[in-house]
Amino acid sequence: MNIRFYHAKLLLPGKKHSFTLTEGELWVRQDTIVYIGDGSDVQHIFDEDSSGMTLWDREIDAGGNLLMPGFKDAHTHSAMTFLRSHADDLPLEEWLNRQVFPYEARLTEEMAYLFDILGIMEYLTSGITANFDMYPFSMAHARASVDCGFRTVQVSGFNDFVSSIGEMEEHYHIINEMSPLTSFLPGFHAEYTTSKERMEQLVRLAHKLKAPVYMHNSETKKEVRECRKRYHASPTQIMDALGLFAYGGGGYHCIYLDEQDVEIFRNRKLHVITNPASNLKLASGIAPIKRFVDAGINVAIGTDGAASNNCLDMFREMFLAAGLAKVLNEDAAAIPAEEILYMATTGGARAMQLPDCDALAVGKKADLILLDLQQPNMQPEHNLVKNIVYSGSKQNVKLTMVNGKILYEDGRFDIGISPEEVYLEANQAVRHIIQENI
C-alpha cells in the first residue's frame, strides 16, 4: 500500500545516540519510507518513479501526534504467554525446574503457534515492531509472524536437552529464506545448560556460517559461580576462549560481568540485551548498563517472556532501565532518557541485525508507530523523548505499522485472526496443558 502521513511530529535520528524532532509528512510506498519532509520538496519523488505515485491507498492525518521508529524487543520467549501469571514468585532455578520445564514438555507446535500470536498481539499494543525470540518450535513462531505480518528474528535455544546442530543449521537456512519478515541466528540457551562439547559444535557451525552467536549470559550469581568451578573462568571468558564470538553476537541479561568480561564484549563488539523487569521479578539482580554504555558497548532492551515478566511492555522496560541505572550508580544523571530510547529502538535493531529497521529515514523499512500526544501523560510537551521514557504507556500507542502494513490501530488488530478467537483457543489450550500436568 501507498500511505501518506501528514500533520505529524516526526522523531528522526540525530547525532550519536540522540534524536531530532520536526514536523511534516512521511510517505510509505509498499514496505519502504520514501519521503520525510514538510511537503514542499516532493516533486523529485514523482520524477524518480516513472510509474508515478499520485494515488494514495490511504492518507492519515496524524493530528499533531508523533511518528517514531517502532520499539525492538530484543529478548523474548513469545510462546511463554501460556505461563503468564502461573509461574510466579520463585527464584530462577526453582522457577525453571518446577514451573516452566514440566509444562513446556506438554506444549505442541500448534499450541506454540497460537501462543506466539497472543505474544505478537501484545507486542503490537506496546508499539513493538520486531522481536528477538528464543524458544523451541522455531518454525511455528516463523509461521505465526508471517501469517500476522510481524517482523521476527529468531535465535536457537540449543542446549543439552533441546535441539541439535543439524536442526539449527536447517532452521537457519529455511527461516532466513522464508520471508522478508523472518530471520534466524545461531545461539544456545546458556552455559549452564550446555556442555562444552555442544558449545564446540556450535563454534564450528558459527564459523561455517560466519554468523554471530547469542545466549543467556551471567544472569545470576549462581550461574557465574558454578561456571567458574567448572572452567576456572566466567561464562563470557569460556565462550570467548572456545571461539564462539569470532563473528560477534551478544548476551541476554549480563548482570554479573567482571572487568575482563566487559573488555571481551567491547573488543568483540558484542551486544548486551538488558531485561530489567524480568530480572527484578526473579530477583536476579540489576544489570550495570551505565558501565556498558561508558565502555562503548551497544545496549538493547528486552521484555523476556510473559512467564518471568508477565507484561510485554517496552514503556515499562524503558522506565525501569533508566530508574535502576540511577539507583545502582547513585546518580540521577546516570543514563539520560535519549540513551534509553536509543536502546529501545536503534540499539535493539543493531543487536538484532536489522540495519534497515533502526530509524525513520528515507530508504528504511516502514516499521513505525504513531503515539497519541493528546493525553494527560504526554502534556505539557517540554521534552517528548522524556515524556516517552518516563511517562509514556501503551495507552499512547495509536498505530503500529510493520513492513508498511498497519497491524494495530486504535485498539483494533489486522493480523488475519480475531482477538476473540485467539483468547478462546489460548485458554482452552492452557487448561489442557495444566490438567495434563496435575
Assigned domain for 328 exists: yes
What is the pLDDT, as a whole number, of residue 302? 98
What is the pLDDT, as a whole number, of residue 46? 67
149 plus 260 within the same structural domain:
yes
What is the pLDDT, as a whole number, of residue 47? 67
Instruction: Give kind and range of the element (H or E) at residue 137.
Output: none
216 plus 95 within the same structural domain:
yes
Distance CA 115, CA 76 (A): 13
77 plus 52 within the same structural domain:
no
Assigned domain for 421 exists: no
Q: Per-residue pLDDT for the chain (438 aa), expressed as one digit of tens each?
A: 899 999 999 999 999 999 999 999 999 999 999 999 998 877 776 666 655 555 799 999 999 999 999 999 999 999 999 999 987 888 778 888 888 888 888 999 999 999 999 999 999 999 999 999 999 999 999 999 999 999 999 999 999 998 999 999 999 999 999 999 999 999 999 999 999 999 999 999 999 999 999 999 999 999 999 999 999 999 999 999 999 999 999 999 999 999 999 999 999 999 999 999 999 999 999 999 999 999 999 999 999 999 999 999 999 999 999 999 999 999 999 999 999 999 999 999 999 999 999 999 999 999 999 999 999 999 999 999 999 999 999 999 999 999 999 999 999 999 999 999 999 999 999 998 887 544
What is the pLDDT, as a whole number, of residue 64? 98
List for the chain the helix, strand, coil content (%; round to 5). 45, 20, 35
CB 198 within 8 A of CB 159: yes
Query: How many domains does one find in the chain?
Result: 2
125 plus 41 within the same structural domain:
no
| Three-class secondary structure assignment of 69-93 | ECEEEEEECHHHHHHCCCCCCCCHH
Domain, as residue range, for 45: 2-69+358-413
Assigned domain for 432 exists: no
Report the CATH number that the domain containing residue 80 is assigned in CATH: 3.20.20.140
Assigned domain for 425 exists: no
277 plus 384 within the same structural domain:
no
CB 32 within 8 A of CB 86: no
Domain stop point among 356, 379, 405? 356
Distance (Å) of CA 423 to CA 171, 398, 419, 427, 431: 29, 22, 6, 6, 12
Number of H helices, E strands in the chain: 17, 18
Tell me if the bond preceding 380 is cis, omega within 30° of 0: yes
What is the pLDDT, as a whole number, of residue 52? 53
208 plus 90 within the same structural domain:
yes
What is the pLDDT, as a whole number, of residue 400? 99
49 plus 152 within the same structural domain:
no
143 plus 61 within the same structural domain:
no
